Amino acid sequence: MNPTMKTADGRSVLRFERRLRHPVEKVWRALTDPAHLAHWFPSEVEEIELRLGGKIRFKQEFPELPLGTGEITELDPPHVLAFTWYEDPLRWELRPDGEGCLLVFTHTFADRPMAGSFAAGWDACLASLDSALAGAPTPPVPEDYAARHDAYAEAFGLDEGDLIEDAGGWTIRFERNVPHPIEKVWPALAGSGAVTGGTPPPGAVADPVAPGEVTEVVAPELLEYAWPSGGNALGRVRWELTGGHPAGTRVVLTHTGPAEERGRCAAALAAWHLRLRSLADRLRDAERPGPGEDAGELERRYAARVAAR
């Protein structure tokens, strides 16, 4: 069963269900014994105090992340285990189901753009859990991990753009995580010839947003250019990349304009939606059919949202 996502108290909650062909007691050991966790959990568990309020110590695997410690927040052996993992609540519930059991797992987190990474990652972890329970070798990271990541991003609406308005005008904003290092994302976006005062690279522009000259470049993190082309600029298009973490690269795109140009927002939202989708496709060396009616449908959907504001 594919994961589902909902929002609760301002945070995102991923929920997985898996039917396992193993009794509750056996799966419980896989959830609570560090020797068993080593075969499938994403962080190596060095120590676990199996009591309410007990501490969990995770091995330091990535220097850019804080030292991993957790705390057991719910415990009902052998059915319920909940603990924090890098401050995110994880909850595991085991329900008897014939000769096996039903595993219900939830992950609650604040960083919504990470949902695609979390969903694809837990998918792989749960597959490893199933293999470990069967005594089979832990499977490697799936070759289609990036495709799964992007499919979840689209299914959860993480590819949708927002329109923010105030007295000074409007800002279109997209924020998306892509499962690739910044060293790969920047060339796909900006090429190698982006310079201040020059023409924006093709990977960073989208019809019908007519680009002006480049106003700022800080490779591989920032590209900004004026909008529209010719005459006085009405706004800016700004790409910001943040890399250096295991999940890949965070991409933030903003496009600003004055209130009197609000009528262009729906078309711009649709265009940027497709540009970011195209970027994700190119990063994983995939192609899909041209926009066709999809572009028109996107614009109609965004137009309805803009009109409803």
pLDDT in tens, 43-85: 889 899 999 999 999 886 655 555 578 999 999 999 999 999 9
Q: How far apart are CA 69 and CA 31, in angstroms?
A: 16
Domain boundaries, the chain: 4-154, 159-308
pLDDT at 5: 97
Degrees, nearest 5: CA angle 280-276-2: 55
Q: Which residue has the higher pLDDT, 256 or 245?
A: 256
C-beta neighbour count of 40 within 10 angstroms: 20
Residues 6 or more apart in contact with residue 55 via CB below 8 angstroms: 47, 48, 49, 69, 70, 71, 72
Nearest CA-CA partner of 146 in 138, 135, 154: 154
For domain 159-308, the CATH class is alpha beta
Per-residue model confidence (pLDDT) at position 1: 57
When the pLDDT of each residue in the chain is averaged and rounded to a whole number, the result is: 93
**pLDDT computed for residue 60 by the predictor:** 63
Q: pLDDT tens, 283-306? A: 999 877 665 558 899 999 999 999
- Give 2 or 159, the one with higher predicted confidence: 159
CATH code that applies to domain 4-154:
3.30.530.20
pTM: 0.92
Of 83, 65, 247, 82, nearest to 152 by C-alpha is: 247
Higher pLDDT, 158 or 64: 158
CA distance 194 to 203: 11
Let me know if the fold of 4-154 is the same as that of 159-308: yes
Total residues found in the chain within this entry: 309
